[in-house]
């Protein structure tokens, strides 16, 4: 049975703030370090750049926001519950923040393209995305579905929870394709040939991936059921 006394609630809030602060510090360190790992690979022109630690932090911001909005709205829909007015206002404010972060990310992408195209040493690597085997996924999924359409939806005057849900889902899909393009295109160039090697995940790789997704889903469901996540008069 949950302890919902004032003392217990105060302790929960205190622990949540401590956990949030620790997660923020470790998250920034992990994401920026990952960006630095890619940014120091001089042999891969698409990955090389001192700006990648900052870009990885930026992309982690809008990817986290989009995934959070998608999950929180989906949770209420699955449970058949109505959001409180306070939560609705918060979700809408976060949706506007997501539009801002996506706009900054789009501007960053535009400048990255301009800087790469204007440099003969990196022009070939960025052309793999702009006019190569990854151009369709880059323009359609990463730019259009993953960025432009969500920004347009989130900036509409009659913003609703349903629109936020759709835009966050599109952003999550676009981010997955963006990461796929970034990793794969970076390995393809240099040494690009007309006959690209094909790859399909093995059975056990698929099983492991599904198991990880199921584990995260189970942990979230367990937390949503057991932890006092709803505000009730305090």
104 inside domain: yes
Is residue 175 within 8 A of residue 146, CB to CB? The reply is yes
149 inside domain: yes
Tokens for 193, please give them. Answer: 């040939």
Q: Going by C-beta distance under 8 Å and a sequence separation of 6 or more, which residues neighbour residue 195?
A: none
Reported pTM: 0.79
231 inside domain: no
Which pLDDT tens digits describe the chain residue by residue (234 residues)?
A: 455 566 666 777 788 788 888 888 888 888 888 888 887 877 777 777 778 888 888 888 888 899 999 988 988 888 788 888 888 899 999 999 999 999 999 998 888 888 888 877 777 778 888 887 888 988 999 999 999 999 999 998 888 999 999 999 999 999 999 888 888 877 777 665 556 566 778 899 999 999 998 998 888 888 777 765 565 544
CA pair distance 115, 121, nearest whole angstrom:
11
109 inside domain: yes
User: What's the pLDDT score for residue 166?
Assistant: 94
Of 145, 155, 164, the closest CA to residue 100 belongs to 155
Classify 207 as helix, strand or coil: helix
DSSP string, 156-182: STT--HHHHHHHHHHHHHHHHHHHHHH
201 inside domain: yes
1 inside domain: no
32 inside domain: yes
Domain of residue 154: give its range.
Answer: 6-226
Count the domains in the chain. 1
Q: Produce one character per residue of 211-230: b if its CB has 16 or more CB atoms within 10 Å, e if not.
A: eeeeeeeeeeeeeeeeeeee
Of 49, 19, 16, the closest CA to residue 35 belongs to 49
CA pair distance 54, 31, nearest whole angstrom:
9
Classify 90 as helix, strand or coil: helix
Q: Tell me the C-alpha to C-alpha distance, in Å, between residue 182 and each of 51, 115, 161, 176, 194.
A: 15, 17, 31, 10, 19
Q: Going by C-beta distance under 8 Å and a sequence separation of 6 or more, which residues neighbour residue 86?
A: 231
234 inside domain: no
């Amino acid at each position: 049975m949950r302890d919902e006394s004032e003392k217990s609630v105060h302790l929960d809030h205190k622990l949540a703030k401590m956990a949030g602060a620790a997660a923020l510090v470790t998250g920034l360190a992990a994401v920026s370090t990952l960006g630095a790992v890619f940014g120091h690979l001089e042999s891969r022109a698409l990955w090389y750049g001192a700006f990648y630690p900052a870009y990885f932090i930026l992309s982690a911001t809008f990817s986290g926001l989009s995934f959070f909005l998608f999950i929180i709205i989906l949770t209420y829909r699955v449970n058949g519950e109505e959001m409180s007015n306070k939560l609705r206002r918060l979700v809408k404010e976060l949706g506007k923040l997501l539009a801002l972060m996506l706009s900054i990310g789009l501007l960053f992408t535009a400048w990255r393209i301009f800087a790469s195209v204007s440099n003969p040493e990196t022009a070939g690597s960025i052309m793999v995305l702009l006019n190569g085997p990854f151009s369709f996924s880059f323009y359609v999924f990463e730019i259009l579905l993953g960025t432009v359409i969500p920004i347009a939806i989130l900036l509409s005057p009659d913003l609703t929870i349903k629109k936020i849900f759709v835009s966050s889902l599109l952003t999550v899909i676009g981010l997955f394709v963006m990461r796929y393009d970034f990793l794969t295109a970076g390995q393809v160039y240099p040494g690009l040939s007309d006959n690209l090697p094909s790859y399909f995940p093995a059975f056990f790789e698929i099983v492991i991936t599904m198991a990880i997704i199921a584990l995260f889903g189970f942990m979230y469901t367990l937390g949503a059921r057991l932890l006092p996540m709803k505000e009730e008069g305090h």
